[in-house]
Structure 1
Amino acid sequence: MSREAVRRVRSRHPFRIEAWLVLPDHLHCVGNLPPDDGDFSRRWRLIKSGLSRALPKTERRSDSRKAAGERGIWQRH
């Protein structure tokens, strides 16, 4: 699931992953972008949305998360 989301984003917006650590409730990623492109936020947003779309539709969500259109894997801001 996560590899496919990353692969899709990398095919359109190149970057290199130096380190990736997945923990039960969050993850860390260290990467490099092309010299002429500093738009890491686009890449991260696309990876997160790809992961969210891959979640089963049976995921349990609170009413407030449903109303906001949020999936249960990302923290709120």
Structure 2
Amino acid sequence: MGRVRVLTLDPWGPMVTPRFVIGVLESPFAVGVLTVMGNWYTKKELAKRIAIFYSASYAASMFSGYLQAGIYKGMDGHLGLAG
């Protein structure tokens, strides 16, 4: 739905610019983490640490929706605001 919204916006710059900036700022994160781990751990430890890093990333993606739903439900009616 978000992609359709981007395509139908008349001035699409306000929608594309923040996404571009976020992408530029977060794109070197994984490379940086892997570089630091490669310099820090021995070859024997490195495979396990990289597996933990990627598994944690996927687990965070799986549970973030539940976290958002819990926050949304808990905030409903807070300070007299709906949602």
TM-score (norm 1): 0.29
Query: Looking at CA atoms only, which structure, 1 or 2, has the larger radius of gyration?
Result: 2
TM-score (norm 2): 0.27
